Amino acid sequence: MNTATHLPALEPRHAAPGTPACDPSVVICTHSIGARLSKKLALLVVLVLGGVSLAAWMSVKMMIVERDAEDLARRSELYASVLALEARDGGEAAVLYKLHREASMRGDSRLEVWRADGSLLHADPAGTMPAASRHTASREFTIATPELPGGLLRARITADYTRDARMGQRWALLLVGVTLAAAALVAAGGYWHVRRQLRPLNDLAAQTRAISPGRLDQRLSLRDPGEELLPWIEQFNALMDRLERAYAQLEGFNADVAHELRTPLANLIGETELALSRDRPAQALRETLQSNLEEMQRLSALVNDMLFLSQADRGATARRGPPVSLAALAQQVSEFHEASLDDAGVALRIDGDATLAVDEPLVKRALSNLLGNAVRYADRGSTIVVRIAAEADGRAQVVVHNAGVGIDAAALPRLFDRFYRADASRCCDDGQTHHGLGLAIVAAIARMHAGSTLAESRDGVTRVGFTLADAPR
């Protein structure tokens, strides 16, 4: 019993700008480049400007601390000189009078004085300083008083610097506010600028959506493309050029296949209908069946060739055997073509040799196709030359030369296309129909051996061949 649970279809959801959006069907998350870049810019501003603000605040704090220390030292020196002068002029009573009289004037500080024996001489009332102040500083100092017992007084002054601390806090808040405001402004400006600069991408996306199978000639373009976008546009347009060519080749291939299949099928249908139209003797029916068998063999060969090319296009590679002499393979192929060579009145010569690890059946098939073409188009009484040469990079080159009517230069680049036939002036007179896959198969076999094809025609001599790469070590 099928226990599969049927889930309702999920409607596409669009995330808010700047938030990641995930497609549950393919598990792909998207994000806004503008939002992400603006966040990173804001973070960068916070880090950089925050560091600068922290350094500025630390400098201000050090300046305030140094100023407060200098103020405390100045007060200590002032009290020491004043009290020393009072002790010299009026003794301990004058000192006490001076301390009591000015105690109310020290609203942001508190002074304490001890005699030389450690007894307390004077202490400002506790109310002279703000209660529970956390920003105080103290300094102890001595006062030289030779006129008093012990010769000196010890004093301690405690000052309240709450006002300076508040100023430092205001500076810190100001710097934090400036940093955050700058980060917000940079983030907003960066997001707006990125969205503005990415607008050409939206134009490219719209142009891409407009491309369809019926409009493969469309190309991407921008009035003022950036240097970063230009390579993408060029590569995409080059891809569209290749795609358009491949699509045109596919349409041509389909038309050629339909044309090649239509003729033998029409022959089969016509001969079969004619045979069934009236009673015929056994010999006539046998001849009809033989004719139909030839047509079906042509169809089978065509289908097999198309399947072989399809496998080669999907990346099939040659099944290499032990190293073998290419001249020996060419000799075996020439023996198969002895009858056609005699009928055409041409001779065959094999020059050179190379030893390579190849797929023997495939290489012999490629040589047979080249020889078949050369025999059909060679001048009577001429000599076909199969030239084999080993190259320095471990490759081998196999080229078939034949003298005859040349191939137009415009047709050479398409010589290895499927179902392509050259100029009708080069057509043979053997009475056979060739479906135009022979050289395409040669090109496929060369690719399966990591090689390539070559073709040239000049001065009445046509050279068509291929290269083969040795098996990787």
Distances from the Cα of 472 to the Cαs of 228, 286, 339, 448, in angstroms?
Answer: 39, 53, 38, 13
Surface-to-core class of residue 116, CB atoms within 10 Å of its CB (0-12 exposed, 13-18 middle, 19+ buried): middle
The region that residue 459 occupies, defined by phi over 0 for left and psi between -120 and 50 for alpha, beta otherwise, is: left
What is the Cα–Cα distance from 70 to 103, expressed in whole angstroms?
Answer: 22
* Cα gap 445→439, rounded to integer Å: 10
User: Can you tell me the distance from the alpha carbon of 287 to that of 310, in angstroms, rounded to the nearest whole number?
Assistant: 35
Rounded to two decimals, what is the model's pTM?
Answer: 0.52
Cα angle for residues 399, 445, 315 (degrees, 5° grid)? 145
| Spatial separation of the C-alpha atoms in residues 298 and 321, rounded to whole Å | 30
Taken in order of first residue, the domains within the chain and their CATH numbers are 16-197 (3.30.450), 229-311 (1.10.287.130), 320-469 (3.30.565.10)
Please state whether beta strands 323-325 and 136-144 pair in parallel, antiparallel, or not at all (unpaired). unpaired
Question: For residues 261 and 443, what is the distance between their CA atoms, to the nearest angstrom?
Answer: 23
Which residue in 155, 127, 160, 131 sits closest to 143, CA to CA? 155
User: How far is it, in rounded angstroms, from Cα 401 to Cα 418?
Assistant: 22
Task: List the pLDDT tens digit at each of the 473 positions of the chain.
Answer: 444 434 344 344 444 444 455 555 555 567 777 788 888 888 888 888 888 888 888 888 899 889 988 988 998 999 899 988 988 888 888 888 888 888 877 778 888 999 988 899 888 887 666 666 678 888 999 989 888 888 899 999 988 888 888 888 888 888 888 888 888 888 888 888 888 877 888 888 888 888 887 788 888 888 877 777 788 888 888 988 888 887 877 777 777 777 777 877 888 888 888 888 888 888 888 888 888 888 888 888 778 877 887 787 778 888 888 999 999 999 999 999 999 999 999 999 999 999 999 999 999 999 999 999 899 989 999 999 999 998 878 889 999 999 988 888 888 888 887 776 665 444 444 444 456 788 888 999 999 988 899 999 988 899 999 999 887 65
Burial class (CB in 10 A: 0-12, 13-18, 19+), 342: exposed
Query: Which residue is it, tokens 């496998």?
Result: 311
**How many CB atoms are closer than 10 A to CB 83?**
23
The phi, psi pair for 347, rounded to 5°, reads -105, 165
CA distance 355 to 336: 22
Let me know: does 115 contact 149? Beta carbons within 8 Å: yes
| Contact criterion met (CB below 8 Å) for 258 and 424 | no
